[in-house]
Structure 1
Amino acid sequence: MTPPAAEPAATATTATATTAAPAGGSVTGPTAAPRVTFVHTLRAEWVKFRSLRSSWYTLACLFGVGLGITVLSMSSAGTQYADATAEERQDWDPTGLSLTTYIVAQLIIGVLGMLVVTSEYATGLMQTSLTATPRRHRLLAAKLAVATAVAVVAGQVLMFAAFLIGQALLRGQDVPSAELGDPGALSAVAGGGLYLAAIALLAAGLGTLMRATAGALTILVGIIFLVPGLAGLFPAWLEGLLGFWPTAGAAAVLTTVPDPDYPHPWLNLGGMCLGVAAVLAAAFVAFRHRDV
Structure 2
Amino acid sequence: MTMVPVLRSEWIKVRTVLSTYISLVVAFVVTVGLSAVICAVTNANWNSMPASEKATFDATSTSFSGIYLGQLAVIVFAVLVIGNEYSSGMIRASLAAVPGRATLLAAKSLVVLGLVLPVAIATSFVSFFLGQTLLGSHKAHIGDPGVLRAVFGMALYMTLIALLSLGVGFLLRKPVLSLGLLMPFFFLISPILRAVPKVKTVAHYFPDQAGSQLASVHQASGIPYGPWAGFFICLLWVVAALGFGYLLFQRRDA
Task: Normalising by structure 2, report the TM-score.
Answer: 0.93
Relative to structure 1, is the Cα distance of residues 279 and 186 closer, same or farther in structure 2, using a 3 angstrom cutoff? Answer: same
1:255 corresponds, among 194, 216, 231, to: 216
Matched, 1:269 2:231: yes
Shift of 1:232: 5.7
Q: Distance in 2 between matches of 1:258 and 1:55?
A: 34
* Rounded Cα–Cα distance in structure 1 between residues aligned with 2:200 and 2:23: 34
Correspondence for 1:196 among 158, 163, 175: 158
Aligned to 1:287: 249
Once residues 153 and 109 of structure 1 are traced to their aligned partners in structure 2, the CA distance between those partners, rounded to angstroms, is: 13
| Greater Cα radius of gyration, structure 1 or 2 | 1
Instruction: Map 1:145-224; keep pairs closer than 5 Å.
Output: 145-171=110-136, 175-224=137-186
> Are the aligned partners of 2:210 and 2:233 in contact in 1 as well (CA < 8 Å)?
no
Of Structure 1 and Structure 2, the greater helix share is in: 2
The one of 25, 45, 56 equivalent to 1:91 is: 56
Secondary structure of residue in 1 paired with 2:204: helix
The question of whether the paired residues in 2 share the 8 Å contact of 1:207 and 1:213 is answered with yes
Give the one of 24, 36, 39 matched to 1:74.
39
**Any conservation in 1 of the 2:31–2:64 contact (CA below 8 Å)?**
no
Determine if contact 2:207/2:233 at 8 Å carries over to the other structure. Answer: no
Structure 1 stretch displaced more, 152-161 or 258-267: 258-267
Residues 36-67 of structure 1 show CA distances to partners (whole Å, capped at 9, x for unaligned) of: 31111011101111111110111121122222
Asked if the contact 1:74–1:97 (Cα under 8 Å) also holds between the matched residues in 2, the reply is yes
- 1:128-147 to structure 2, matched below 5 A, reads 128-147=93-112
Shift of 1:223: 2.2
| Corresponding position of 1:243 | 204
Render the CA deviation track for 1:179-210: whole Å, top value 9, x for unaligned: 11111111111111111111101110111111
RMSD across aligned positions (CA): 1.8
Q: Percent identity?
A: 30
Partners of 1:216 and 1:251 lie apart in 2 by 23
Letter in 2 for 1:291: D
Higher RCO (C-alpha under 8 Å, 6+ residues apart): 2
Q: Once the 2 structures are TM-superposed, how far is the Cα of residue 235 of structure 1 from its aligned partner?
A: 8.1
For residues 77 and 235 of structure 1, the distance between their equivalents in structure 2, rounded to whole angstroms, comes to 28
Change beyond 3 A, Cα 1:68–1:39: same
Distance 1:74 1:68 in 2: 10
* TM-superposition CA deviations, 1:76-131 (whole Å, max 9, x none): 12222121233322222111110111101222111111121111112221111111
Distance 1:192 1:132 in 2: 36
Asked if structure 2 preserves the Cα contact closer than 8 Å seen for 1:250 and 1:266, the reply is no
1:283 is displaced (CA, Å) by 0.5
Q: Distance in 1 between matches of 2:69 and 2:195?
A: 24
Q: Which amino acid aligns with 1:126?
A: I
In 1, the alpha carbon distance for the partners of 2:133 and 2:200 equals 38
1:103 to 61, 68, 76: 68
Answer yes or no: is 1:63 the counterpart of 2:28.
yes
Instruction: Please say if residues 26 and 70 of structure 2, whose CA atoms lie closer than 8 Å, have aligned partners that are also in contact.
Output: no
Q: For 2:221, what is the secondary structure of its paired residue?
A: coil
Determine whether 1:37 maps to 2:2.
Answer: yes
Deviations 1:246-288 (A, max 9, x none): 3323312211122231242320331221122111111101111
What are structure 1's unaligned runs of at least 5 residues?
1-35
User: How many residue pairs were aligned?
Assistant: 253
Question: Using the alignment, how far apart are the partners of 1:74 and 1:170 within structure 2?
Answer: 6
Give structure 2 stretches of 5+ with no counterpart: none
Q: Distance in 2 between matches of 1:235 and 1:261?
A: 11
